Structures are given as structure tokens and as C-alpha cells.
Structure 1
Amino acid sequence: MKIYKALTIAGSDSGGGAGIQADLKTFQELEVFGMSALTAITAQNTVGVHGVYPLSPEALGKQIEAVVSDLRPDAIKTGMLWNADMIEEIVFQLTKYKLEHVIVDPVMIAKGGASLLNEAAIETLKRQLLPLAYAVTPNIPEAEILTGRTIETMEDRKKAARDLHKMGVRYSIIKGGHQPTEQTVTDLLFDGESMTEISNPYIHTKNTHGTGCTFSAALAAQTAKGSAIHEAFQIAESFVHKAVANSFDIGSGHGPTNHFAFKRTKF
């Protein structure tokens, strides 16, 4: 029996709803062996981020080396990367070990509004990490920052997806959660030739903490198992939709999504 493996390079969420905790839960539910390399420890709950304690680039690099030299992952996803030095260390390791199938979730702002990536790091991500990316999964505000383009319509989103592809990304996915209609949320995939849209019913809930992490982790898990991008996109969409539709109403802020829901609910 082949064991598929995925590595998450991201920050820790002490509240368990986002970050590496969300990633590892997603990997487990999709039957992929999960591994992690921490960029930072956060003091975090459903209300917000109360502290960020970054590790050193050396500590990050040692974690990645330890994993890939012995347990070479079939796919990798990145989340909160914090600063330019960390991104450069990741790029060094990806290049050194010739790692492929890298899913970049360009985490910039937490649900509560805390900044999770500084200006210098954004430029480094664009110039050094995106050209190595198999796929990138920004939400609309993140896509606006990466492309310098105002996104108000689906046509704007398609132009931004093409911009990201020109930066070297193989597949660009722009999520639509920040621009829902009254009834649907539509995510967009550009594969270099054609656009694919997937729409799901809009769910009126404040419990959406960790949706971006969960989506990119599901995409990485399916990619690790050998799914082509369109199949991985479809399954990641379904995973997140079910997780939000059956979210947990715990905590006093943005509650977490339900990572159990994909296998255990029909809707």
C-alpha cells in the first residue's frame, strides 16, 4: 500500500482552526500522511491573533531538511511565511531538493485583521517563490496585492489569474469568498489556457476561520495522491464547502470549520 505524504510549511494556530493544525487535520481526513515545518508560533483563538513568535530561518530550514531528506513529500503547501528571510530559506530548500507540487497559499492577513506578511516579504514571495509554485491560492484581497490590480468583477479576477500565471505559477486559483453574490460563491482556476469556475451556495455564517488554509491543504493532499489539477480543485472545493456548511459554533469570534464533515455528511 502506497502512503502518500504532504508537508505543510506554515505557522501554528493555538486555537486549532487554521495554520498547521488545520492543514494536518485536512491531510488526515483525505488519507495523506501529514508532516510540518513551523515558521512561527502564534497565540491565537477565534477572536484574533494575540501574538506572533517567529522561528529563525535556520530552524525552519532544519525542519524542512529533516523531513525531505528522509520522508520526501509528494506535495508541499506553504501558509504563513512571515518575512523575506524565511521565504528565501524555503526557496533554497525547494531548489536544493528539487521539490515539486508546491501549493502557495499567500497568507497575508488573519481573519481578525492582524498582518501576517510584511511588505518586503511580499516582494520576495512574488519574485522568488511564485516561479516555483505548482499552484497559488489567493483570496481576492491577496490577489489584488500580488497583482496590483483592483478586482471588482469576474473579468477582473480572470485578468489577475493570468497575471499570476505570467509570474511563473503553473495554475492560479482565485477564491471568491470576499465577493459572494446573495446565493453563491465562485472560485476560479486558470490552467494557462482556459478558465474553470466552480460555484457553491453561499453560507451565511461567521464561522469561517481557517478556510483558506483548509482549501490549500486539501488541494495539496489531492495533488500528493496524484490527482490532476481540475480534480484536486473540485475535491478541495467540496471539502471546504462541507466544512463551512457544518462549521463549529465555538468561541466568541470567527469559529472554525468542520474538518470531519467531508466524509461524515452528505451535504
Structure 2
Amino acid sequence: MRNQTRIGISSLIFNLDKALKICEDNKSINHIEIGIDNIFDCDILKKYKEKIKNLNLSVGIHLPMELNPCEDIEFIKQKWIEYIILLNKNLNFLDISYYNMHLGYVITNRLKKNKEKYLNNIVNFFEEISLKEKNLPITIENTYTKGGDISNVGSCVEDFTYILDCNDNISFCYDSGHDLICPSNYSLLRNKIKVVHLSDNNGMEDEHLGILNGKLRECDLQEILRLNPEFIVLEMKFEYIESSLQVLKKNYPK
């Protein structure tokens, strides 16, 4: 991994106090990714500005899971774009390293019939954001889908190559836990990877276990570390943070 890779943890607003205490107690953590669901969360986050600064933490923002870049209803799509622009404006008191998001979801039968249409919706979504807010740092994350009436877009590498080929300003976030559930050859995107979400699971449920507590093998971890990301986020239950940091140190000695 590159020397400047920053090691972080993930947090939501409600457990930010506990997350920052973990960062304070462990100096190897110098990044935090915070999930923001509502604009008013920005006012809550502002109260932590000095604490984040004093801990020398870089900050990433995970946008709401409900956000749907492949939205086919124009009115709703525009509201999501407005949300992202307004959120960025309200977070101007922080130097945000990236905004991370999933690619959205579609009624399964419609997606099967015309996937390219929804991928083009996503391309257009990011083009419209770029026109309104230049240089907004966005990462898009692989996810998983299990079928049913609604399917997630972004559970295979082809979805991302299509989108990233159309937009040079977007980066990729590789999620190891999601890849365990819906495997794909994301190493093809290594030149686009900015963020890695590290967690483990049983290959069926997104359990957010610590590293090597599920199906992830040590050789898999070493391959992930060779992706050379700018940020590694331990996206797992807090109880696994310390043991996972020890595994990281073993596989990535300074």
C-alpha cells in the first residue's frame, strides 16, 4: 500500500461520540467515514468540528442508502441531486475527502429488460451534478443483490466499467463484504480505486464482522491491500476494530 494510505473507521451520527473515542485511543486511525441521512445532521456534525480537527482526521461522507442515481422519475432524480449539492454546501466547515454512494435500485423485471437504460440514467445523474458542482469528489461502491422484486445496481464489475468509462471524475470504492456476497473481478478497476471498505461475513449476510472472522482469507486481504487505496475504512462493528487493526499491521507492516 502507498505510504499515505489513511486508515479509518465508519460511523453514523448517533454513535459518533464512541467512534471519535476509538480514534482518540488509537493513533493509527486517521480517517473517519460518517453516514449522513438528513441535512439537519450537518448541524449536529458541526459540534464535532474541533474534535475532528484536533484528532487530525480526514473525513469521508457516506450518502443515504435510499439515494437512487438510476432513478427514472425526473422530479425525484432532481431532488436527489439537490440534496447532494445542499449537503455539500452545509458541510463546508469540513474538508470532505469524498462522498460515497451506491448506484441505486430498480424493479427487477425492468432492470433485466433494459439494464443499459438505468446505467445511462446513472451517467446522466453524475453529469448533472458536475454541471452544478464542479470537482465534487464522488466514489461509487459495489454492493450486492439477492433477487426479489427490487434489485440493486452495482453488483458486478461491468456496471462500474460502463459508468467510469463515461466519467473520469468519479472514483471507485471497493467493499470486501459486499464482494463476498456477490463476487466480481473488481481488480479490473484498480486504477480507479480510492477507498476500500474492509469487513468480513459468511458470504450470505452483510454482517460487518472483523477481518478474518468470516469467509475472507489472509491471502484475500493481502490482495486487497495491493489495490493501493488512498483510504481503508474498517466498516465493521466497533467491537472488531482493535483486532482488525492488529491483522492489518501484520499484513501491512510499516
Instruction: Please report the TM-score for the alignment, with normalisation by the length of structure 1.
Output: 0.42
Structure exhibiting the larger radius of gyration computed from Cα positions: 2
Instruction: Please report the TM-score for the alignment, with normalisation by the length of structure 2.
Output: 0.44
